[in-house]
A = this chain, B = another copy of it.
Amino acid sequence: MKEIFRALALITAVFTLQASQAHTEQTKGEEEVDYRMSLYMVIAGNFHPLGAMAEGKMPFNAADAKLRAERIAFLVPMLKEAFPADSNGVGHTSAKPEIWTDTAGFDKALQLLIDKSAALAVAANSGDADKVKAAVQDTGKACKNCHDKFRVKD
């Protein structure tokens, strides 16, 4: 049994190292930043085709839109746990300190994204291309709203 646990610990450690591309031991804050950035990456990877469909760069595909939108609606609320205090100012984060000082403002901006993502999944379930397009725009605005306030500009 202990072997399995050792294997589990190893698997987790390997992923952490892999994702960070670092071979030195990470701090808790650094691990948290990697987790957060990975979560955003998976969200963005699924949002990208929806954006392309909405923009007419990719043909509208109702089944794919539904799949992607449901993933986004599932993943976005996970962001609520992705900003622990230890991760403030750590490593290569672009998260502004205001996230941890203006918690009410940040919670509001994140809740807007959660609500718009849920509405996007509802729209995608309708199979109506125009509804999906409008919901993709609303979700994109909610992303931008939070970035404008709480994300360091490149």
Q: Does the CB pair A19–B38 fall under 8 Å?
A: yes
State which residues 1-40 of A face B: CB under 8 Å: 1, 4-5, 7-9, 11-12, 14-19, 21, 34-35, 37-40
Report chain B residues within 8 Å CB of A11: 44, 47, 140, 143-144, 147
**Chain A residue total in the interface (Cβ 8 A):** 44
A154 at the interface (CB under 8 A from B): yes
B40 close to A19 (CB less than 8 A): yes
A141 to chain B, nearest CB (A): 7
- Chain A positions within 8 Å of B, measured between CB atoms, are 1, 4-5, 7-9, 11-12, 14-19, 21, 34-35, 37-45, 47-48, 51, 54-55, 71, 74, 78, 92, 94, 136-137, 140-141, 143-144, 147, 154
Which 3 interchain pairs have the tightest Cβ spacing? A38-B41, A38-B38, A15-B44
